[in-house]
Structure 1
Amino acid sequence: MKLSLFSMWAAALLLTFSSECVSGKQCVCELKNAVRPFPTAQLDNIHTAASECNTSITSKQMLEVDVLKLGLQRRLEQLEESVAVLEREDDGELYGAVSLRIIELELAEVLELMAKLNRTISSHRQLSNNTAAKLHSLVEEMQELEEFDHMQVVKKQQENQRMRRDLDNCQHQLHSTAEPPTPPPGNCPQGQLVNVSGPRTYTLTQYGTSYSFGAWGKDPNPSPGKEQVYWLVALTSSNIFSNYIREYNSLSTIIVGVGPTDTTIAPSNPTTNTIQGPNVVMYGDAVYYNCYNSPSVCRFNMTSRTVTNVALPLNSGYGNKFPFGHMDGTYTHTDMDFATDESGVWVIYSSPENFGNIIISEVLAGSPPVLGRSWRTSLHKRTVTNTFMVCGVLYATRFLNKETEEIFYSFDTETSTESYRLRIHIKKMQPNIQSLNYNPGDRMLYMYSDAHILSYEAVFQ
């Protein structure tokens, strides 16, 4: 653009000469410019205005409204669900009061989201109007400057560019073959994970601060009648072992810590079939966990009260050989992490053969369970604080500071592609994360953090 305008400016200097020579005196030449001078100041103003337009609109701004709309939709759905819970549980006393308080908090979040959405839309509308007016003015000024192109340099360059572009398109269509469509990561119908908001829930468990390691959540594939049930596993022995699962009928009851139902896996703790490590999940009314002192996947059927298992590949890590961790320490006995998503259950682990890097394996439901396909990654397990799965994509977190955890890595099992470029931050209320799991049913992340239970909303593009 600068070269074209310089050529336009140079072409505008059409000069006329006149000379006069008086006898016996020195000859004098007079130089006259045949046209008005080129407006360089106007050109500088156009360049400045164009730069401002390029920096005033970013890709992040383009996504703001969509992300806010999706968040508002999810909050309204959750509010509707909480109202239904209140209608079922309202006894005029404790349960009803807690449920009503939850609804008040959720309603405040909805109103806050709506206000933010309105402000964002208004800001974008004003920005769009201002930018459109500025662009219209720039086009008019550029058309005025074309009057100085007496040699038609700019016009010829524009024609050449059009011809070159048409020729490139023809060559591309002649020699290229159509590429297959690229599926979104994990073929997620809701799109790609772009943010995590919250926490929506934050409270101590019924145990208080006694047990800092554990896990909690909802069954993504519950049996009939247990759609609103929440489960909790606290490691009650040395932050390593547990021998029972605690269930609550609703979010209100788990927050208050009343009315739980306990289901015992083993008669003592620790012993055969004891839960080892905090990374536990429930799927299809069965609990999946690391079998006691063994590199095996245990499956506890909540209905029949029976345990079956399947061994991981030879030399897979267990017994605190490949735990999660960060610079300040490790999370003990987190060699095996379990995750749920839209397709079922996964186990995340490591082995010396993969140099301590993470391995992902499908866990096929059944009694006993069966290991399905496996994928090897380049991500070393000790550099990660936790993992979870969404639509067949593994996401890994790392410790930034006591207030912030970062989702920095992803591995897509559909395409076997991995990325270290994610920058999704999670606001923490406690320094450490002992377990983290995604529930595709409500699109929430359930976190166990230093004896506290928290939930976060997963936001998709």
Structure 2
Amino acid sequence: MISTLYFVALLSSTMAWGRVGLWSEGSAKNETGGGSGDRCSCDAFLPSSTFPIKDLVAVEQTAGEISHKLELEMGKLDDYETKLTAYAEKIIKLTAEIEKMEKNPDAYRDVDVDEMKVQIKQVEALIKELQLSIRGSTTVFKSLRIQITAMVGTLNRLEKTYDKNVVLVTRREYVKVQLQLEECERRHQELFNPNIGSCAHTGIIKVSKPIVSHLNAHLNSGYKYGGWGKDSKPVPDRESMYWYSGYTSSSIVDIRFYTNYKNLILRNQFQHHNLHSSWTGTGNNFIIRDNTLYYQCNNPFGLAKLNFTTMKYEHRVIARASTRFSYSNSPNQNFDFAADESGLWVTFATEVSSGRMVIAKINEPSFGVEEEWQTSVYKPGVSNAFMVCGVLYAVRTVDIQTEEIFYKYDTKTKQESHVSVPFERFQDKFSNLDYNPTDQKLYMYNDGYYVNYHLWFNHTAKATVEPPFLLS
């Protein structure tokens, strides 16, 4: 009979040295000198591929370091908020004093004017100091994003190679720090990007690096077609809601809702709607607005609208729209819905326009077309498009890593122009790209991954709530 301790010792030794094979049989001498002499033994040989615990430990240590840095940044944000309030009060008082001086200059002595100049210089110095701190926080966020992206790569590699349950605990740590970073960036944006909702700018001048959130809710890279994002006109109590719809083809078969970003990442949906056969759509250029799905349907070919509050379905046909012209990245993207600060839009191409894109403004209550604009950009040469403040921005593929905003058409002035604003993709191809006016971000569904981008605009006027420290 095999000794249990002897077997365990052999097994432990084999695991430590990683010998190749399965079993070998043999005999071992009785070293105590007693008994009949020989006894039977079995050696267990395990594969040489041992679990890389060092990688997991490194990820956990990185998660701890990032968490600590984020706690420090959250403390800084509290400090920024306090300083902003104090600086604003000082500037209001200084402004009032300067106005008094301008109205009655003879009532003030030179020494009073000199003292006012000193106070202005002091505030300017404080503002410059705060600007440097803010830039430092932005740099920290970028650095942490890079670290978290590296963590994603390590965890994905381990999950593909080893037992997912073993990696799960570490992935939870990753999710925790990622959520901390999102909260930190959200507060940073609220404090220092007061221009959300404002169209006092001449257009997009820069797009951030891709911010990769997660593989889709199915955790399946085969779900290459779909979209995700936020409601562009959220109903009360759903301002933080996210949505996702994905499939292995360009069909739209269902949609999932999450109360907030945390639940999106944790795949904890609060609603899941299956689109029955008469509501099924296609095209991957759908959006959620006012808790309503706007999308393309093919039977008959046209526009579809499904309100998730009332579950009312509506359909409209645009007779001129053609089924021949899609975006370059994926099929059936004939209608592209978009939403911005000025409302709801849809773009398409016609035979009469020879495949050039047409912009149409949609009346949301009637679901009818209010007005149309003809552009000169050829739709099959475009990888995707979106609307910002009544301006169409068209995107094309430059190389395997780069997209470029290359064209824009302003519906207010009916002027079009060519621009060059390059930005980076996370994966090779994407099926959905939309702007959301509630946070001024681009949302991309990129080969099954949730990706988003911050936008920078060339502002021509200051927002009414803009903190004075942002002045140059």
> What TM-score do the two structures reach when normalised by structure 1?
0.58
Decide which of 425, 430, 451 is 2:427's aligned counterpart.
430
Q: Distance in 2 between matches of 1:415 and 1:383?
A: 24
Distance change >3 Å, CA 234–CA 104, structure 1 → 2: closer
Distance change >3 Å, CA 260–CA 96, structure 1 → 2: farther
Aligned to 1:324: 327
Decide which of 189, 195, 199 is 2:210's aligned counterpart.
199
- 1:254 equivalent to 2:264? Answer yes
- Which range moves more in the overlay, 243-252 or 392-401? 243-252
Decide which of 425, 438, 448 is 2:445's aligned counterpart.
448
Structure 1 residue 419: Cα displacement = 0.8
Q: Distance in 1 between matches of 2:310 and 2:204?
A: 37
Q: Distance in 2 between matches of 1:430 and 1:221?
A: 29
Q: Percent identity?
A: 29
Kept after mapping to 1: 8 A contact 2:292/2:306: yes
Kept after mapping to 2: 8 A contact 1:232/1:246: yes
Distance change >3 Å, CA 108–CA 334, structure 1 → 2: closer
Aligned to 1:228: 240
Distance change >3 Å, CA 336–CA 446, structure 1 → 2: same
Aligned partner letter, 2:241:
V
Decide which of 279, 294, 298 is 2:285's aligned counterpart.
279
Deviation track 1:152-198 (CA, whole Å, cap 9, x = no partner) reads: xxxxxxxxxxxxxxxxxxxxxxxxxxxxxxxxxx9822552111103
Deviation track 1:290-332 (CA, whole Å, cap 9, x = no partner) reads: 02333311110011112102211x23112xx10101xxxx511
Q: Distance in 1 between matches of 2:421 and 2:183?
A: 23
Kept after mapping to 1: 8 A contact 2:256/2:269: no
Structure 1: gaps (5+ residues) = 1-64, 80-92, 112-185
Kept after mapping to 1: 8 A contact 2:209/2:453: yes
Distance change >3 Å, CA 305–CA 455, structure 1 → 2: same
Q: Distance in 1 between matches of 2:213 and 2:420?
A: 23
What is the total number of aligned residue pairs between the two structures?
A: 292
Aligned partner letter, 2:322:
G
Q: Distance in 2 between matches of 1:260 and 1:245?
A: 11
Structure 1 residue 364: Cα displacement = 1.1
Computed over aligned residues only, the root mean square deviation of the Cα atoms, in angstroms, reads 3.3
Kept after mapping to 2: 8 A contact 1:401/1:431: no
Q: SS at 2:262's partner residue?
A: helix
Aligned partner letter, 2:446:
S
Aligned partner letter, 2:399:
N
Distance change >3 Å, CA 416–CA 295, structure 1 → 2: farther
Q: Distance in 1 between matches of 2:202 and 2:282?
A: 35
Q: SS at 2:434's partner residue?
A: strand
Structure 1 residue 100: Cα displacement = 4.0
Q: Distance in 2 between matches of 1:400 and 1:97?
A: 33
Structure 1 residue 449: Cα displacement = 1.0
Q: SS at 1:353's partner residue?
A: coil
Deviation track 1:112-134 (CA, whole Å, cap 9, x = no partner) reads: xxxxxxxxxxxxxxxxxxxxxxx
> What TM-score do the two structures reach when normalised by structure 2?
0.57
Aligned to 1:384: 382
Q: Distance in 2 between matches of 1:300 and 1:371?
A: 17
Q: Distance in 2 between matches of 1:393 and 1:187?
A: 14
Q: SS at 2:294's partner residue?
A: strand
Question: Within 5 Å, which residues of 2 pair with 1:389-428?
Answer: 389-420=387-418, 422-428=419-425
Structure 1 residue 351: Cα displacement = 0.5
Kept after mapping to 1: 8 A contact 2:344/2:363: yes
Kept after mapping to 2: 8 A contact 1:277/1:334: yes
- 1:341 equivalent to 2:371? Answer no
Q: Distance in 1 between matches of 2:137 and 2:377?
A: 32
Aligned to 1:156: none
Q: SS at 1:396's partner residue?
A: strand
Computing the radius of gyration from Cα coordinates, the structure with the larger value is 1
Deviation track 1:57-112 (CA, whole Å, cap 9, x = no partner) reads: xxxxxxxx9xx99x969979x99xxxxxxxxxxxxx9989735433247759999x
